[in-house]
């Protein structure tokens, strides 16, 4: 009886979604096999075979769902940040979008004659930071990728009007 209590406690304390779903599904498969065949050996084998298959599928679906939710949350956060930007800050973001990337060299920024207050404010907000090119030869400004995506979306929405 104590072993059964430990098993039940472990099953109900499980936090792995894939394993929880697989345990339930394997139980249903095993019970169904037993009710159809009245053979407990077939029921056990059915449950044992079903468990890893269901766990693989459930874990994959759950991981995909979590990634989508995280992506939505990141986009919502970027939308919130973009919505709170001043006009100078939005001008800087739009300069990145018009340049076609979320990274601009210092030379490019100087040529664009962007508002210094907008750049510094974005740096303080940690939406823009300084970086170095991949070859390590030039310093750059890098814009948060999610905010860049929102800026691109805004340009596309404005052009569709």
- Tens-digit pLDDT profile for residues 39-65: 988 998 888 889 889 989 999 999 999
For residue 14, what pLDDT band results from cuts at 50, 70 and 90? Answer: low
Tell me which residue of 108, 91, 128, 14 sits closest to 26, measured CA to CA: 14
- Average pLDDT (108-130) is 90
On whether both 71 and 106 belong to a single domain, the answer is no
At residue 34, the pLDDT reads 87
Q: Does one domain contain both 73 and 99? A: no
Looking at residue 161, its pLDDT comes to 60
The model carries a pTM of 0.64
Q: Does residue 64 sit in the same domain as residue 99?
A: no
| pLDDT tens for each residue of 16-29 | 788 888 888 898 99
The answer on 89 and 153 residing in a single domain is yes
At 123 the pLDDT is: 92
pLDDT at position 7, please?
A: 64
* Same structural domain, 45 and 103: no
Which residues on neighbouring strands pair with residue 130, listed in sequence order?
141
CA dist 44 and 50 (Å) reads: 10
Spatial separation of the C-alpha atoms in residues 40 and 32, rounded to whole Å: 11
Q: What is the pLDDT of residue 135?
A: 86
Number of domain units in the chain: 2
In a shared domain, residues 67 and 93:
no
* Full residue range of the structural domain in which residue 28 is found: 1-79
Last residue of a domain, one of 49, 79, 109: 79
Q: Average of pLDDT values for 54-81?
A: 92
């Amino acid at each position: 009886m104590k072993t059964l209590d430990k098993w039940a406690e472990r099953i109900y304390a499980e936090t792995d979604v894939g394993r929880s779903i697989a345990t339930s599904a394997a139980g249903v498969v095993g019970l169904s096999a037993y009710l159809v065949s009245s053979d407990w050996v077939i029921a056990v084998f059915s449950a044992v075979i079903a468990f890893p298959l269901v766990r693989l599928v459930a874990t994959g679906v759950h991981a995909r769902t979590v990634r989508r939710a995280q992506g939505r949350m990141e986009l919502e956060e970027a939308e919130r940040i973009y919505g709170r930007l001043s006009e100078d800050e939005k001008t800087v973001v739009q300069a990145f979008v018009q340049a076609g990337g979320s990274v601009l060299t210092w030379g490019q920024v100087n040529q664009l004659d962007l508002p210094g207050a907008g750049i510094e404010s974005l740096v303080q907000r940690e939406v823009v930071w300084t970086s170095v090119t991949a070859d390590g030869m030039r310093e750059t400004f890098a814009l948060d990728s999610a905010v860049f995506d929102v800026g691109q979306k805004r340009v596309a929405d404005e052009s569709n009007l």
